[in-house]
Structures are given as C-alpha cells and as structure tokens.
Amino acid sequence: VATWLRTAASPDTGDEGSGDGGTAERGTDAADRPGASASGSGVLAVPVVATIAGLAVLLVSSRHGESQVTVGLAAATLVVSSARTVIAFRELGRMGDLARLARSDDLTGLPNRRALYAEVPARLALGGRNALLLLDLDRFKEVNDSLGHDVGDVLLVQVGLRIGAQLGADDLLVRLGGDEFAIFLRDSGREEAEVVAMKVRSALAAPHTLEGISLQSSASIGIALSPEHGESLGILMRKADMAMYRAKVRRGGHRVYHPVDDSHGDTRLRTLEELRAALVTNQLVLHYQPKVDLSGGEVRGVEALVRWNHPKRGLLYPSEFLELVEDAGLMQTLTERVLELALDQAAVWHRRGERLTIAVNLAASSLLDSGLPERVGVMLTARDLPATALMFEITEAFLLDDRGRASDILGRLRARGIRIAVDDFGVGYSSLAYLRELPIDELKLDRSFVAPLNGDKRAAAVVSSSIHLAHSLGLRMVAEGVEDAEAYAQLARFGCDQAQGYYVSPPVPAAVLDEWLAARLTADAGTVQA
C-alpha cells in the first residue's frame, strides 16, 4: 500500500498543474483532467483486484485445513487495508482541491503567481508570438493607507474584473500580489499587446465608486515580448518589470521593454541599497521655502522640503525617491530624520531670536503612527523649543482615512500646540465634512488653482470662494505655487493670508534663506525710510 500511495500521488499532483490551468483560463488544459482522474481510478483497481485475489487464496487455504481463526484474521486485515487504501485515495483527491486553491488568489479569485509559473512555461514551449504584461496600480498604497484596507480590497477586486473584461478567452490574467497583476497574451505581438494595454488602461480610468467615494485608478504597464525579448518566463517577467518601472517613473501608462531599461532596473536596486545608507549617514538635507504674509510681507513660517544629497547623482528631489521610500517601508525612518533636521534648524533660528515656524510634510503612512505625538513632544523638549516652532502638512488623502485614528492623532498633536495644515487643498478627496470635524489650522491651496489665476475668470472664482470658505471656518489660507507678480497681487486682493512660490523664493538651504531674510529686512528698512 505504501508503494502504491507513492505512485498514485505523482500522477495526481501532476494532474493539478494542468487542471488548475484549465480553471484559470477555462480552456485548453481542462480536457486533461478527466483523463487523469480516469487513470487514477485505474490505479485504484489494482488494490481492489489484489484484495479479491487475496480473499480467494484465503478461501482456498481454509478448505485445505488452515485454522479458521488465522484465515479470519488474514481476511480482516486485507479488508481493512483495502478500505484504508480507498480513504487514502480520497484524501489525495482532497489534497488536489487544496492544490487547486493554492493556485488562486483569495481576494479576487483570479489565478495567482503559482498558477502563472505552472501554466506559462508550457505555453511558451509551444512557440509562436506571446506577450507578457505586468501591471501595477499607481498610488494604490495611498488609497489603502488613506481609505483603509477594506476599500483597497474592493478596489482590487473591481480592477481585476475590469482587466478581465478586456481579455480574450485564451489570455491568462493573474494577480501577483498586492496591486500587481500579470497578463499573458498568446499569439500576440507588440501591436496586439499595446492595444490590450491601452484598453486595460482606459477601462481602469473610469471612476470607481467605493463606499460612496468616487476614486479614479490608473496603472503602469510593462510589456515583454516572446521570442523577441526572451523565451523563458523568468526573463520575460524581469524585462516586463523593468519596462513597468520605467513607465511608472515617467507616469507614462505603458511601455514595451527596450534594452535601455535594463540599466534602469539595476539602478533601481542600487538606489534602494543607497537609500538605506542615506538614511543612516547624513545624506538627507532640507531646503526651506518661505511663506509670506500677503498683507504685510512678513515671513513667519517656512516649509521644509527634503532632498537627497546623493554622493554620485547629486541633489535628488522628492519625486525621484519618495515613492521608493514608501515602497521600501522606510517612510517612518525618513519622517523621523526630517523632523530631527527641521527641529535642529528651528533651534538655531530660535536661539537667534527668529521665531520661524517650520512646516514638515507628513506622508499619509506616517500619520497612522499613533506614537508620533509623544515622540514629537520629546524632540521639541530636548531642543527647548515651543510647540509653535513646528507645524505639520498633511494631505486630504489622510483625512478621509481611518477617521477615528486621524482625529485622534491630530487632536493629540494639536493639544500640544502643534498646528496642522491641509496640503494640496482642492485636488484630493475633498469633503466639506472634515473641514468642520477635524482639528485643522490652515489650508494650502494647490498650485493647480493658483497657476491659471491670471486671466482665467473661473479659476479666479474658485480661488476667491475657497479663501472665503477657509475664513468662514476660521482657517488660514496659504496659496502654493505663486510664480508671478500678478498672481501674488490678485491673491492679496482676494484676502488670501499667505503666499508661497518661486515668485517669493524657491526652496533653498537654510544659509541661503538667512541671507534672503536679511536682504529683505534691509530692503524693508529702505522702503520705510524712503
């Protein structure tokens, strides 16, 4: 029986490979399954026949005078062992079901990574033109962090359905994990693959309604072609991944792999290593951008903006590394480091009698950290700084979040006297409700409203009514991205409280800001005297 179990086990598990592929794409290999299970019952016939033969032998030997007890015991043993065989066989069947389950994704019910690896090599071996598409949702983490995992999950299911609806019966769609999906297209060259990529992207672009919130999703897609780019799944995956990463960096939708992407893939890995090093050595630096009072021209606050002073690549901007920080789960470390740098600088200014408030940006993920208010308190005390030396800028994404935790953390920061601004106001998941409910001091009007201010009557109307709204809620309004004198003057006329932007000053190192402030004071003194 033991030998039989071993031999029966291998055809059965072998069957699962193709059997699941059949479920995955409802086609080709499903036919293998009945065949394989028939051979399984053939295997079961062997012990059944053996049992009958054994019983027959016993019957004959009992006629030849063997003891009734011996024959009875031997017969019972045979019956029990064959019953056990049948049970073992059933268990194998159940293990088969489990193996099939192991090839599908719990959340979306789509085939998973294991299914891809079980299925695609055989298809590639058949030759012909094939395409592998890797798809990664843009800013999914933000949705997850700000609206909660349940909403994130619903979004993933919807995304899976929408992608699936764009594919043919012969195509294979799998969820690789997280917000990554792979599509294997058979008989498909570059053009067909790009058409599918475009169809999938436009299917994802239509708004999703999740718990009453309307969300838009978009994805970056990398495409690798066989035989052009490689003939093994491993190589295609790697190349599609590099193309996908390239697409993501450029926010460019989809991209067919090109050899130049290779070096980029290497860079990405190296960058992550370097990023870890940067966080522990002092490669992160802060630049400060002043916020000017539109009424009197005074500067009472600055925004701290992080830069990475890379040993080889020079000064890198947040757009070049923040996503990587987030992906690598290093945001908390970065926030901590930025806070230390910002508060060290605040201490320098305060010792000199310059009471500048430094605003630090918080990623949605850092604000899920309920230990933050206490740690910030300790950091302020260690530098003998008042709470007014610091404020936080958070985006609306966070505010719609886990509302309870949000107001708790904000409430505790606020109770310590630390002020809160809502960043990029107007472009996020705006809701008037949070403006009323949550403890906020300031709104920062996104620069996309400020930029078209000149000559655009509607933009002007939106800006002026946002300013009124802020004031009627007792909030201060700061305009971001003020790039010219006209916008500056118009915002002042509208009664906006503060302006920030290249027109006033770009973000600069603290030493440069010091000079700028000094020059401004002298100029002011000049105007007063004049």
Handedness of CA 189, 175, 399, 374 (dihedral sign): negative
- Picking from 400, 468, 469, 387, the residue whose alpha carbon sits closest to that of residue 437 is 400
Q: Does 145 bind Ca ion (CB under 5 A)?
A: no
d(CA 150, CA 213): 13
Q: How many residues bind ligand C2E (CB under 6 A)?
A: 21
Contact between 221 and 197 under an 8 Å Cβ cutoff? The reply is: yes
Closer residue to Ca ion in complex, CB, 361/498: 361
Residue from 363, 400, 418, 438 binding ligand C2E (CB under 6 A): 363
User: Does the protein bind ligand C2E through residue 344 (CB under 6 A)?
Assistant: no
Counting Cβ atoms within 10 Å, is residue 199 exposed (0-12), middle (13-18) or buried (19+)?
middle
Stretch touching ligand C2E by CB under 6 A, among 2-10, 246-254, 311-319, 487-495: 311-319
**Site for Ca ion contains 442 (CB under 5 A):** no
Please choose, from the candidates 84, 86, 62, the residue with its C-alpha nearest in 3D space to the C-alpha of residue 73: 62
DSSP H or E stretch at residue 226: strand 219-226
State yes or no: residue 501 binds ligand C2E (CB under 6 A): yes
Question: Which element (helix H / strand E) includes 517?
Answer: helix 510-529
Stretch that binds Ca ion, among 170-178, 358-366, 428-436, 500-508 (CB under 5 A): 358-366
* Nearest distance in Å: CB 424, Ca ion: 4
Return the range that interacts with Ca ion (CB under 5 A); candidates 230-238, 239-247, 323-331, 386-394. Answer: 386-394
Residue 443 binds to ligand C2E (criterion: CB under 6 A): no
* Residues paired with residue 289 on neighbouring β-strands, in sequence order: 303
Q: Which of 136, 424, 442, 497 binds Ca ion (CB under 5 A)?
A: 424
Which listed range, 71-79, 226-234, 355-363, 369-377, lies at the site for Ca ion (CB under 5 A)? 355-363
The three-point CA angle 259-173-105 to 5° equals: 120
Q: Mark the segment that binds ligand C2E (CB under 6 A) among 13-21, 135-143, 231-239, 357-365.
A: 357-365
Q: Is 226 in the site for ligand C2E (CB under 6 A)?
A: no
Identify which of 87, 68, 192, 183 has the alpha carbon closest to the alpha carbon of residue 129.
Answer: 192
DSSP strand E in 344-494: where?
357-361, 390-395, 419-425, 442-445, 476-479
Which residue among 262, 344, 483, 514 contacts ligand C2E (CB under 6 A)? 483
By the rule CB under 6 A, 424 interacts with ligand C2E: yes
- Are 248 and 241 a contacting pair, CB within 8 Å? no
Among 393, 396, 442, 497, binds Ca ion (CB under 5 A): 393
User: Which partner, ligand C2E, Ca ion, none, binds residue 325 by CB below 5 to 8 Å per kind?
Assistant: none
- Beta-strand relationship, 130-137 and 180-186: antiparallel
* Residues 6 or more apart whose Cβ sits within 8 Å of residue 366: 331, 332, 335, 372
Sign of CA dihedral 118, 122, 124, 125: positive
Minimum CB–partner distance for residue 483 and ligand C2E (Å): 4
Minimum distance from residue 163 beta carbon to ligand C2E (Å): 30
Is 307:288 a contact under the CB 8 Å cutoff? no
110 vs 305 by CB, closer to ligand C2E: 305
Choice from 502, 515, 519, 523 touching ligand C2E (CB under 6 A): 502
CB-based contact 346:356 (threshold 8 Å): yes
Could you tell me which of 420, 361, 358 has the C-alpha nearest to residue 386? 358
- Dig out the tokens for 12 from the structure: 């059965």
Identify which range of 8-16, 119-127, 385-393, 411-419 contacts Ca ion by CB under 5 A.
385-393
Minimum distance of Ca ion from residue 458's CB (angstroms) = 21
Which of ligand C2E, Ca ion, none has residue 363 at its interface (CB below 5 to 8 Å by kind)?
ligand C2E
Phi, psi of 50, rounded to the nearest 5 degrees = -60, -40
3 state DSSP class of 507: coil
Please tell me whether residue 82 adopts helix, strand or coil conformation: helix
The piece of 220-228, 291-299, 481-489, 518-526 that touches ligand C2E (CB under 6 A) is: 481-489
- Of 231 and 323, which has the nearer Cβ to ligand C2E? 323
Work out how close the CB of 319 gets to ligand C2E at its nearest, in angstroms, rounded to a whole number. Answer: 6
Residue 130: count other Cβ atoms within 10 Å of its Cβ. Answer: 24
> Applying CB under 6 A, does 338 fall inside the site for ligand C2E?
yes
Give the x-and-dash track for 445-484 against Ca ion (CB under 5 A): -----------------------------------x----
> Would you tell me which residues interact with ligand C2E (CB under 6 A)?
289, 305-306, 317-319, 322, 338, 361-363, 393, 423-424, 447, 481-483, 501-502, 507
